[in-house]
Amino acid sequence: MSTFALVDGNNFYVSCERVFNPQLEKRPVVVLSNNDGCAVARSQEAKALGVKMGAPWFQMQALARKHGIVALSSNYTLYADMSNRMMAVLEKFSPSQEVYSIDECFLGLDGFHTDLTAYGQAIRQQVKCWTGLPTCIGIGPTKTLAKLANHIAKKQREWAGVCDLGKLSEHALNDLLERIDVGEVWGVGRRIREKLVRLGINTALDLKRAEVAFIGDYFSVVTQRTVVELQGVSLLQLEEVAPARQQIMCSRSFGLPVTQLTDLQQAIISYTTRAAEKLRRQSSLCRAVHISIRTNPFRQKDAQYSPGLTVTLPKATCDTLKLAQAGLWGLQRIYRPGCRYAKAGVILLDLVPAEIRQTSLFTDHETDKKNAQQLMQTMDAINQRMGKDAVFLAGAGVEKRWHMKQGNKTPRYTTEWKELVVVQC
DNA sequence: TCTGGGGTCCTAGGACCC
DNA sequence: TCTGGGGTCCTAGGACCC
């Protein structure tokens, strides 16, 4: 019998901001997506005012003014650093950890002969003390049940932040599951929920009691697996080492509509640069580049155009110059003048592991290849040390009229010397 | 005027081959 | 004029997650 814990940061991005600005405590706060588009994190107070996850921010202006909601641009540098700190603390509490997302991780608790609720409280306290971040913890015999337990710990105050489903009787567990909407189950999204409800499956308990074969008639094996996991049989294991990515993407909406080819070219070069850095970080090469551009689908009156094109490379590479060249070649082909473009994206596909080979030990005569590798390594090293975009391809542009909006971004409190918090004594 | 970004997995259906 | 069936591979699209 397995035991999993799921530790999840509460309102994670908002909590990160609050660590460095305590004046945000007890106030309605939201963090906006890139381009200040949508609300992607909300404090408890903001949720209570009815700000929905993913709500377009411009539609919330009146509400925000009325209640003094603080809206912050997203500061991913800060959140990633805080996430690393949180994960480092959590790692100490289990021999096995799977970092599942920026704000949550699974811990394996097999063979822990201790009161897991108390252990959970100890974890929460340590994380709060060492990072300032509040968390909730769900515990159960499968990952799906641990996720559900976490949901309960967050929504039902009486659990005080830790819910261990493993120690409930079957009867008590079912009572609890009966009161949870089936849409809250991990793996049941909007579409599958609608279909389940039509079949008379409304609660987590209904889904647990469904026949696996019956579910198989209407849904994929993924949903069948969910049913089995709800029944307490663990099918999903901890994945302690993150597998190498199979594709790497970089896309952004523009701060302003773009019509000129040159602006799109700059964007494609910038995004390719970002994606290629990630590619090299995981020591992969790619054999195809997919680029896409699109107009604003919300502007129904505008002519809509959203082409994409995959460019196959003659040889697998991680050279930003070659990748950008391929991307620009593709862009030429799909660009159509007269459209108001709102977004562009680059996906590196068909990834293969790079040969592990030190450049300095490179002994063959492929000088070009060697030079390209050295150039990329040098670029990465400089940007690592001197900050993002200390060196970049000139084609990416300097002015970047199209660059995304970030009207209210907080400092990079923990990662940038000039922006460190200074404590007055 | 303003509506995010980055992933994975699964399935259906077409292309192709014998 | 008549015109099979089955396997495999690939891709696009849909669903999910945070």
* A255-305 pLDDT tens trace: 999 999 999 999 999 999 999 999 999 999 999 999 999 999 999 888 899
Name the CA dihedral angle for A201, A202, A207, A211, rounded to a multiple of 10 degrees: -10
Determine whether A171 is exposed, middle or buried from the number of CB atoms within 10 Å of its CB (0-12, 13-18, 19+). exposed
Q: What is the pLDDT of residue A212?
A: 95
If one compares A267 and A396, the residue with the highest pLDDT of the two is: A267
A16: nearest Cα among A37, A43, A46: A43
Q: Which of A21-30, A126-135, A193-202, A360-369 has the weakest average pLDDT?
A: A360-369
What 3-state DSSP class applies to A18?
A: helix
Contact criterion met (CB below 8 Å) for A230 and A204:
yes
Within 10 angstroms of residue A351's Cβ, the number of other Cβ atoms is 20
Alpha-carbon distances of A41 from A29, A57, A133, A253, rounded to whole Å: 8, 12, 14, 19
Nearest nt (C1') from A101 Cα: C18
Q: What is the pLDDT of residue A227?
A: 97
Token digits of residue A162: 């830790």
Residue A90 pLDDT > 50, yes or no? yes
Within 10 angstroms of residue A297's Cβ, the number of other Cβ atoms is 11
Positions on chain C within 7 A of a protein C-beta: 12, 14-18
Residue A397 pLDDT > 90, yes or no? no
Note the pTM of the prediction, 2 decimals.
Answer: 0.93
Q: Is the CB of A270 under 7 A from strand B?
A: no
> Mind listing the pLDDT tens digit for each residue in A323-343?
999 999 999 999 999 999 999
Q: Which of residues 87-146 of A touch strand C (CB under 7 A)?
A: 100-104
Q: Is the CB of A40 under 7 A from strand B?
A: yes
Using the structure block, give the residue that is written with the tokens 């706060």.
Answer: A29
Positive or negative torsion for Cα A409, A413, A414, A415: positive
Average pLDDT on A12-39 reads 97
| Rg of chain A in Å (alpha carbons) | 24
A272: nearest Cα among A330, A353, A348: A348
Residue A366 pLDDT > 70, yes or no? no
Q: What is the pLDDT of residue A186?
A: 98
Determine whether A15 is exposed, middle or buried from the number of CB atoms within 10 Å of its CB (0-12, 13-18, 19+). buried
The chain-wide mean pLDDT, for chain A, equals 93
Q: Is the CB of A191 under 7 A from strand C?
A: yes
